[in-house]
Structure 1
């Protein structure tokens, strides 16, 4: 009986030790998983975002959608459109920064600055913002046809 009691006690101690080791290891795995969402690399990318907004259509015949983001990278600012960006076709289409958070169909020259001609009417694209432009002076980005003075859509920041 003493041998059986000693064997049972030893087995219990070994099982408890193994069980506590498993719990410590599983807690470490869970901690690593939650840290992966806040790793320094993802924080670095997120910290580069200066402003962002979703496009809304201004002129119904020229629907515009997608996301616009201003990021800071290497001491420079860039305007990026995401892969969902899509706008209508037109002559002399420009990417502009506008001083207000809403952009009318027809523009007044004092309210905007032309950043660049639109590269593509669909998909991801990037535009460098010259250092002479103070990003905080502008509240939105717009897609605008210079020839007919028609705003297709804008994204407020």
Structure 2
């Protein structure tokens, strides 16, 4: 009896799999119900693309790594890669998008101060090194901004900037 049930279950599984339509990654997820697994996702509809990417140039403090703007399902994110690293000596470090494509070259040492109106605040910096991601508000027109900047808001000091060129 167990063998007969196992054969029927195997045959039903085989027919189900062989008759299933191929699902492309742009289609909506399809859920399959079974007693052991109520919902199994067969495909994801998530679309992503990298819009802009470049390496950090040091300003007030050594800053390294890569910044990129990624769009996932219509939502933009600023992502710092695993090689990202900056100094932990500044209070109130934030990430901003800046209108200039040469923030370090267009500002004066030693602080590389930013002028109000030339940047938009994205978020406080989560950590001083490693990969991290920051959501960018839909209200921000990314075409207006050409650099990602690690900035000490309290002392108006730019730690580093990455030109965001189209990839």
Aligned residues of 2:47 and 2:72 also touching (Cα < 8 A): no
Separation in 1 of the partners of 2:81 and 2:65? 6
Q: CA RMSD in A?
A: 2.0
Over residues 44-100 of structure 1, what are the superposed CA-to-partner deviations in whole Å (9 max), with x where a residue is unaligned? x996000001001012xx100000010110110000000000001110001000000
Separation in 1 of the partners of 2:141 and 2:100? 14
* Structure 1 match to 2:136: 129
Over residues 114-153 of structure 1, what are the superposed CA-to-partner deviations in whole Å (9 max), with x where a residue is unaligned? 1000000000000000100011110000000011000000
User: Which runs of 5 or more residues in structure 2 are unaligned?
Assistant: 1-24, 26-45
* Structure 2 match to 1:152: 159
More helix by share: 1
TM-score (ref. length: structure 1): 0.69
* Structure 1 match to 2:19: none
Count of residues in Structure 1 that have an aligned counterpart in Structure 2: 114
TM-score (ref. length: structure 2): 0.65
User: Which runs of 5 or more residues in structure 1 are unaligned?
Assistant: 1-39
Query: Given the alignment of the two structures, is residue 120 of structure 1 paired with residue 121 of structure 2, yes or no?
Result: no
The structure with the larger Rg is 1
Separation in 1 of the partners of 2:93 and 2:48? 31
Over residues 20-42 of structure 1, what are the superposed CA-to-partner deviations in whole Å (9 max), with x where a residue is unaligned? xxxxxxxxxxxxxxxxxxxx9xx
Query: Given the alignment of the two structures, is residue 93 of structure 1 paired with residue 93 of structure 2, yes or no?
Result: yes
* Structure 2 match to 1:74: 73
